[in-house]
């Protein structure tokens, strides 16, 4: 990834997350290139990278739109996460070393410091989950999860607030405790409980949004 591509990705991602483009908005490469003073090649790369992150949807006609979320997609995504992430956490419990655990706890501390900043929290939350998936030692599993691990950021676009909360960080601490203990089954259980709690909170936000 070149410097220009990195910059285009960062600028477009930041604009989407800050609400400059509402869910469902079409992203035209020529308009974005002019807006951000970037080449269309860099913008095209940024759009594809954000599609991989789940923040952009690319249709059959290759037109790109800021991701919108249906309740069906919420359910489907959490179904997949509930199968893959616990398995990943279990593998991490078998492989993680002391330095890995320290890095995970440092990320938890960073999230605790940004509970009043949804975007900063979600950024670190993604790093936390990705670290666990890397520790699984299974590149194929890591690649599969990587496509949906940023789903909380996609939900942020829908609701304008994070589905994560202070309780999520307590979940994170229990997950790391299980990984540190080397207890595979406990790590699986704690990650499963974490995901199901996030699913319920997403449903609550959805219900409240439909009432307004």
Q: Give helix then strand counts, H and E, for the chain.
A: 10, 3
For residue range 60-74, list pLDDT tens digits in order.
788 999 988 788 888
Window from 50-59, 98-107, 134-143, 177-186 with minimum mean pLDDT: 50-59
Residue 159 banded pLDDT, cuts 50, 70, 90: confident
164 pLDDT band, cuts 50/70/90, is low
- How confident is the model over 87-127, as pLDDT tens digits? 999 999 999 999 999 999 999 999 999 888 888 888 899 89
User: Tokens for 128?
Assistant: 């936390």
- Going along the chain from its start, the domains and CATH numbers come out as 3-66 (1.10.10.10), 71-211 (1.20.120.530)
């Amino acid at each position: 990834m070149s410097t220009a591509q990195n910059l285009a990705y960062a600028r477009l991602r930041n604009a989407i997350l800050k609400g400059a483009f509402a869910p469902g908005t079409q992203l035209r490469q020529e308009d974005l290139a002019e807006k951000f003073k970037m080449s269309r090649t860099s913008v095209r790369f940024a759009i594809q990278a954000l599609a991989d992150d789940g923040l952009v949807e690319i249709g059959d006609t290759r037109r790109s739109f800021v991701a919108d979320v249906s309740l069906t997609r919420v359910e489907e995504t959490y179904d997949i996460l509930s199968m893959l992430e616990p398995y990943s956490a279990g593998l991490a419990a078998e492989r993680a070393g002391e330095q890995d655990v320290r890095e995970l706890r440092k990320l938890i501390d960073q999230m605790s410091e940004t509970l009043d900043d949804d975007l900063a929290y979600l950024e670190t939350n993604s790093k936390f989950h990705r670290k666990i998936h890397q520790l699984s030692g299974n590149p194929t599993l890591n690649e599969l999860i990587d496509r949906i691990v940023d789903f909380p950021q996609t939900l942020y676009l829908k609701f304008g607030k994070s589905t994560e909360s202070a309780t999520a960080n307590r979940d994170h601490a229990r997950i790391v405790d299980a990984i540190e203990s080397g207890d595979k089954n406990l790590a699986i259980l704690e990650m499963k409980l974490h995901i199901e709690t996030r699913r319920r909170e997403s449903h609550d936000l959805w219900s409240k949004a439909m009432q307004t």
